Each structure stands twice: as C-alpha cells, then as structure tokens.
C-alpha cells in the first residue's frame, strides 16, 4: 500500500468520520430541543435544590444535614444494608443459573458445536434456538428491575424475595447478552482442533470454549454484582426488602437526616464492594 493511500485511510477528518460527526451533532441538537434541556433553567433552579437540602423551616429536622447519629438507628441501617447485599448476592446466583447455560444457545459458534451438521433440521434448530434465547434475554433485560419487582411483590408479597427474583431475572437477561457476545469472540482454533479429535459437544465447550471466556465471565459477574447492590437499594421503594424500604419511608416523612445517614452507609458499602471486586478481578482475570 502506498504512503498516500495510508495517509488517506488514517486521516481522522476523512469523509466518513465527518459524516458521523455531523450526524451525531444533528441527533444531539434534535434531542436537546425535543427534551427541553436548558442550562439556564438548571442555573435558575439551583437555589431550589439548596433549599430542599437545608430543609423546610416549618418542618423540624427536615434538612439533610447534619446526618442522624443515633447509634440505634445506625446499627439498624447497617443491618438493612447487609440484607441488601445479601439480596444482590442471591440474585447474582440466580442470574448465573439462568444465563450461563442459555448463553451457549444465544451464540452462533457454540450452536454449531451443539447442533453440528448442515441438514435442514440442524439449520432450523440452530436458528430457532438462537432467536428464542435472544428474545428471552431481551425481554428479561428490557423490563426494568422496579417493574419486575412490582410483579413479584404481587405474586409472593412484601419482603426481600421479590427483590431477589426481580434482580435475578433482569440480570440474567443482561448476562445472557454479555456472555453470548464474549463466547462469539473466542478464537476458533482450539475448537477446531478439539473437534478434529472426535470430542463431543460437551467436551469441546468444557475444554476449548470455557477456558477462553472464564476471565471475561468473572469480570462481567463482578460488574453486575456491583450494579445489583446499587439497584437493590432502590427496589425497597416497591416493598421488596432491604434498606430501600426505610429510605423511602424516611423520604416521605421528611426525616431527611436519617436519609443522609442511610446514603452514607450505602456509599461506603458500594465503595467496599467496588474495592473487593477490583481485588478479585486482579487475581482471576
């Protein structure tokens, strides 16, 4: 390839990149106007936020500062935060039970391993498996955790269980997508080599596919666990257990000093989970 051709292809201001930038600018401008975004409105309303944080003078202790420092309250909120983390952990186990086996049916390359052959039946079963599994994943992750939580609350009642089920189903859908994309990006050489020896589908997946995707799986699991801990704190707004139940109750009753205490506990917990995840990720990925 000639030098001029290389310069032309690597030029960041080529026609294609300029067209993409122009399209992004048009979409951003259109979205900004359609959604009535305004820096001026935010600047004018900033004082209202400060008033909200300082509290209503007609309501005693309605301000967010200083945080409530009652030892009894702090102990209770810490226990509720532990319950919230437990909800996220059980939801992660449920989501892995859902997503790990289904991810292989949502990946074209592993479907070739599970259902080898080029007969019409083989092609149809691969197509049906792929479309069905992808549809299930899209359905599970497209519905927000809060909506799933409301559904499960109506089914099993109040408490942590509907929150665990809601997080498990939603995260299961997300992990099917993430896992399947990781599987489809593996190198094909180990699969081809093991298949050539006459190994069956389970052995090929066990020894040629899973070793390649294990680091990616661990990374995605840790990411979703961190996300589920944050989401579980909000599911309590629907009555699905955890610290969110008390957080919602305190917000409605303007006991905002207690809200600040709970938010501090949530932030500290999320930070601890983040550091633990980083340590595990460093060890195993």
3-state secondary structure the chain: CCHHHHHHHHCCCCHHHHHHHHHHHHHHHHHHHHCCCCHHHHHHHHHHHHHHHHCCCCCCCCCCCCCCCCHHHHHHHHHHHHHHHHHHHHHHHHHHHHHHHHHCCCCHHHHHHHCCCCCHHHHHHHHHHHHHHHHHHHHHHHCCHHHHHHHHHHHHCCCHHHHHHHHHHHHHHHHHHHHHHHHHCCCCHHHHHHHHCCCCHHHHHHHHHHHHHHHHHHHHHHHHHHHHHHHHHHHHHHCCCCHHHHHHHHHHCCCHHHHHHHHHHHHHHHHHHHHHHHHHHHHHC
pLDDT surpassing 70 at residue 9: no
**92 pLDDT exceeds 90?**
yes
265 near 243, Cβ under 8 Å?
yes
Q: Is pLDDT larger for residue 283 or for residue 7?
A: 283
Average pLDDT taken over every residue of the chain: 86
Residue-wise pLDDT tens digits, 215-235:
888 888 888 998 888 888 888
* CATH classification (class only), 71-284: mainly alpha
Instruction: State the span(s) of the chain assigned CATH 1.10.3720.10.
Output: 71-284
Q: What is the pLDDT of residues 243-262, one digit of tens each?
A: 888 888 888 888 888 889 99
Closest CA to 133 of 100, 168, 162: 100
Region 122-129 average pLDDT:
89
Q: Is the pLDDT of residue 169 over 80?
A: yes
């Amino acid at each position: 390839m000639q030098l001029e051709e290389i310069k032309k292809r690597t030029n960041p201001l080529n026609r294609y990149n300029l067209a993409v930038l122009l399209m992004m600018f048009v979409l951003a401008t259109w979205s900004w106007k359609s959604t009535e975004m305004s820096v001026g409105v935010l600047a004018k309303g900033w004082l209202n936020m400060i008033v909200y944080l300082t509290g209503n003078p007609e309501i005693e202790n309605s301000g967010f500062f200083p945080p409530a420092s009652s030892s009894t309250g702090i102990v209770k909120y810490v226990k509720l935060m532990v319950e919230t983390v437990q909800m996220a952990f059980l939801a992660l186990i449920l989501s892995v039970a859902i997503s790990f086996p289904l991810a292989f049916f949502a990946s074209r390359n592993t479907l070739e391993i599970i259902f080898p052959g080029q007969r019409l039946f083989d092609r149809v079963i691969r197509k049906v498996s792929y479309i069905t599994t992808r549809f299930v994943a899209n359905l599970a992750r497209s519905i927000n955790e809060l909506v799933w939580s409301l559904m499960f609350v109506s089914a099993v009642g109040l408490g942590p269980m509907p929150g665990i089920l809601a997080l498990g189903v939603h995260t299961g859908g997300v992990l099917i997508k993430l896992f399947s994309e990781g599987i489809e990006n593996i190198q094909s050489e180990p699969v081809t080599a093991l298949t050539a020896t006459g190994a069956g589908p389970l052995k090929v997946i066990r020894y040629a596919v899973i070793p390649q995707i294990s680091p990616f799986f661990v990374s995605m699991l840790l990411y979703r666990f961190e996300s589920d801990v944050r989401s579980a704190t909000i599911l309590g707004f629907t009555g699905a257990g955890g610290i969110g139940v008390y957080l919602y109750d305190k917000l409605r009753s303007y006991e905002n000093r207690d809200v600040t205490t709970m938010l501090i506990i949530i932030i500290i917990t999320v930070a601890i989970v983040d550091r633990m995840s980083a340590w595990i990720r460093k060890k195993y990925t």
